[in-house]
Every structure is written in C-alpha cells, then in structure tokens.
Amino acid sequence: MDMRKNLRFYKPFSIDTIVANLLEPLTKSINLLDTAKLPFEVDEEQAYLITSKDENGSIKHQLQLSYLSKTEYDDIGNFYIVSITEVDENPLKGHQILEKRDSIGNELKTYNLTNTLPIYQQIITTNSALLYKYYDYDIDNKKVVTVGTSANELYTYYNGAIYHIGYSINDEKANPEFHNEMLQLTREFILADTHHDM
C-alpha cells in the first residue's frame, strides 16, 4: 500500500457485520476467525477498510481484521491482526527466500500454504524486531492512525490477495509449538472452506 495514492480510510466497523459492509471481489478473500482458538481472550474485534489507487489508476482495497485484548489501562495488550490487500498478480511468484534470519537476526521460516504457494513466518528471537505497522482508531480525534510496534509475522499470497499477519502475546510461550499453533491457525483462516494438501 505504500506505493499507492489517494488512500481513503473508513471508520472501523464490527467484524460481525463484515459481509454487509463489503462488496466483491474482496469478500471472496474473507473468512471469519474462530476466536476461541486464539491464546488470549479477545476484548475487541474491529475491521478497517482502506481504498487506494494503484499506479494504473485502478481502485484497490485493503482490509484489516483486528483481534485485541486490552490492559487494565485500556491499552492494547495481546493482538492477532490480519491485513488482506487486493493484488492483480502474485508478487511472490518467482521469488524464493533462502535466508534463515532477517536483517536483525530474528528467525525466518518458509512453509507450504498449499502445494504451490509458500507462507513465510518471522519469529522474534532477539531483543529487537523490524517495525510492524497496523491501523487503529483515534477516538479523541476521530480518525484512523497507523501504529508502529514489534510483532511476530506471517506473510503469504492466496486467491488474489496478500495476507500479512502480525501477532504478539504477552509472556508468550517462546517455543516452536506456540508459533506452530499460530501458523496452523493462520492456515485454517486463509484456506477455510477449501481443500488442499499441506
């Protein structure tokens, strides 16, 4: 989205009303997450819609689904955030990530989303992380803002859309099993109602 122009942000709406608020073709990429499978209690669910024009002047949509827990001070605690961006073609096609670490030294893994499509997982294993950005709503100023933080991330392409997931759990179990559970949850979310050999 950084290369696109004329970005328009819409006031967030409930994920429960997502089908009523969206039109094709974006709805074909949307599945509802079973929040009971998240490793934290969800206090807030919000959907953000952003439209923009690409370099050819075509309207493109981006949808962010935010599943958040709140602290006693009403700050964001744990989160699982999915960003879905329409694209005309798979930007990952022909690219292969061979590195095992990112530029900071955090773990970088490649798995199969389907037989032909990869999914990449970036796991924070150092005291630093690359900047992860997501949208939030500033109630006082009544506008959508961009928040920068650190997060474990998943990235893939499927069915005409780029999926970028960020998740962070306080006191998270820093072990392979926890991150594998998040990988499987993300796979299920993206591939819901489809059948693929993993």
pLDDT, tens digit, 9 for 90 and up, residues 74-85: 788 899 999 999
Of 137, 175, 135, the C-alpha closest to 152 is 175
For every residue of 127-182, which 3-state class applies, written as one string? CCCCCEEEEEEECCCCEEEEEEECCEEEEEEECCEEEEEEEECCCCCCCHHHHHHH
pTM of the predicted protein model = 0.86
Report the mean per-residue pLDDT for the chain.
83
Mind listing the pLDDT tens digit for each residue in 141-174?
A: 888 999 999 999 999 999 889 999 999 987 655 5
pLDDT single digits (tens) 15-52: 777 665 555 555 565 677 889 999 899 999 999 988 88
Decide the pairing of beta strands 152-158 and 118-123: antiparallel
Residue 109 makes CB contacts below 8 A (sequence gap 6+) with 100, 120, 121, 122, 123
Total Cβ atoms within 10 A of residue 138: 10
| Backbone dihedral angles phi then psi of residue 47, each to the nearest 5 degrees | -115, 135
Q: Return the structure tokens found at 80.
A: 């699982």
Here the tokens at position 167 are: 């998740």
pLDDT at 195 over 50: no
Specify the DSSP class assigned to residue 64.
E
Task: Tell me what pLDDT residue 73 has.
Answer: 81
